Amino acid sequence: MNNSTGTVPEKKKNIVELKNITVRFDGETILDDLSLSIGDGEFVTLLGSSGCGKTTTLRLIAGFLEPDEGEVFFDSKSMNGVPAYKREVNTIFQRYALFPNYNVFENIAYGLRVRHVPEAEIKERVQEMLTLVNLEGFGKRPITKLSGGQQQRVAIARALILKPKVLLLDEPLAALDLKLRKDMQQELKNIQKALGITFVFVTHDQEEALSMSDTVVVMNEGKIQQIGSPIDIYNEPENAFVADFIGESNILDGVMKADYRAAFSGKTFDCLDSGFAPNEPVDIVVRPEDVDIVASEKGMLQGIVTSVTFLGVHFEIIVDIGGFKWMIQTTDEHHEGETVGLFIEPDAIHVMKKSKYSGQFGDYSSYSDEMDTMSVIEDEEE
């Protein structure tokens, strides 16, 4: 992966390159001077909320859309003006678009029949695909008799039977229930490893991106915010947007007093960051699972528990420290109104430069209210 922002993991040669891409719709900029390189055999996820430009990026690679500025390269050859059917790319959408009047075999075989492949080869390759997606024995089954997960597998097989060099997946698991979605995440990763081809996956689900990908590309407002491995994206966010979007984060205003010394919440802490100017204002990120709740007198900071939520594996606890509401995830039970201390190790403190997103994200003062509002909206939509 190659970009001026984010961690750059080792990888094979680039198979897809987007250089200085700008796309506008009705005067609105959807992609803003975006550059991205994707390695051969890589599982890359474009991650972001609705409207961030991730699906537009996928459509550019597929050939369904042309950039207003910039170039798309495939194996170092410019693809500008090259139609979708001439690109060694196939796409799986959220709606699988299977033929309801065809059985499983004929759905998978469709692309080969269009290309007039001999019947014996069609049978052999369809059988290979059925085995790959764990649908052996389903060839004669009507599409209408399949579950959502089975239909997803047919869509994958139909796309892969044409042997694309790149498979594009536009939120293909969104319609599945949670358990089936988890199963298919692992299935897709296994298929990608078995075939060794490039997968470019689009999702707004952070957990899905972290669990499946070799490389995650976090996008917002038509720009790439960070590129890196799932571990790097989570542990070393580049700015407040990434820190807030990937998992839960306590994001505080801070000051770098000196190398390895950061001040926030009225105290100065040891940290592992350096290279900032003396007394430079910064954003501080502390993940909820990296904070220990201790006895008040033993804490680096002291506060009052204002909310406790049991989530099965752990408790989610909100602690008010000087008006800033911290979230802490712990397996230890605490109670509302309890005075507690927080203990923070140096490696739990991540220091980020100030950005346009500074101040937009922070504490959990409105956490419960936001969840209630979201629930109401979801009920109204249903």
pLDDT per position as a tens digit, 20-74: 999 999 989 999 999 999 999 999 999 999 899 999 999 999 999 999 999 999 9
Main-chain phi, psi angles of 113, to 5 degrees: -65, -40
DSSP state of 2: -
The residues near 76 (Cβ < 8 Å, ≥ 6 apart) are 14, 17
pLDDT of residue 337: 96
The residues near 129 (Cβ < 8 Å, ≥ 6 apart) are 108, 157, 158, 160, 161
pLDDT digits (tens, 9 = 90+) for 123-163: 999 999 999 999 999 999 999 999 888 998 999 999 999 99
pLDDT of residue 183: 86
pLDDT of residue 178: 81
Task: Give, in degrees to the nearest 5, the angle at Cα 108 between 104 and 112.
Answer: 145
Structural element, H or E, at residue 194: helix 178-195
Label residue 363 by pLDDT band (50, 70, 90): confident
Quickly list DSSP for 265-308.
Answer: TTEEEE-S---PPTTEEEEEEE-GGGEEEE-GGG-SEEEEEEEE
Q: Find the range with the poorest average confidence among 93-97, 216-220, 229-233, 280-284.
A: 93-97
- pLDDT of 175 > 80? The answer is no
Pair 91, 62: CB distance under 8 Å: yes
Torsion of CA 98, 102, 107, 110, to 10 degrees: -110
Measure Cα distances from 352 to 139, 225, 268, 319 in Å: 54, 13, 16, 23
pLDDT of residue 378: 39
CA distance 153 to 84: 23
- Counting residues of the chain whose pLDDT is more than 90, the rounded percentage is 80
Main-chain phi, psi angles of 199, to 5 degrees: -110, 130
Per-chain mean pLDDT for the chain: 90
Pair 27, 215: CB distance under 8 Å: no
The residues near 215 (Cβ < 8 Å, ≥ 6 apart) are 1, 9, 11, 39, 42, 43, 44, 45, 227, 228, 229
Pair 326, 250: CB distance under 8 Å: yes
pLDDT digits (tens, 9 = 90+) for 141-152: 999 999 888 998
CA distance 227 to 44: 10
Measure Cα distances from 224 to 132, 323, 375 in Å: 34, 33, 30
Label residue 3 by pLDDT band (50, 70, 90): very low
Which residues does residue 73 pair with via DSSP β-bridges, in sequence order?
Answer: 17, 78
pLDDT digits (tens, 9 = 90+) for 34-47: 999 999 999 999 99
Which residues does residue 232 pair with via DSSP β-bridges, in sequence order?
Answer: none
Label residue 94 by pLDDT band (50, 70, 90): confident
Q: How many helices (H) and strands (E) does the chain have?
A: 9, 20
Label residue 1 by pLDDT band (50, 70, 90): very low
Q: What is the mean pLDDT of residues 250-277?
A: 97
Helix (H, G, I), strand (E, B), or coil: what is residue 200? strand
State the number of CA atoms in the 13 A half-sphere of 193 facing the CB. Answer: 9
Q: What is the mean pLDDT of residues 90-119?
A: 91
pLDDT of residue 10: 53
pLDDT digits (tens, 9 = 90+) for 310-334: 999 999 999 999 999 999 999 999 9
- pLDDT of 349 > 50? The answer is yes
Identify which of 6, 14, 16 has the alpha carbon closest to the alpha carbon of residue 219.
6
pLDDT of residue 168: 96
Identify which of 133, 131, 45 has the alpha carbon closest to the alpha carbon of residue 96.
133
Beta strand pairing call for 43-47 and 198-203:
parallel
Angle at which helices 148-160 and 119-132 cross, to 10°: 130
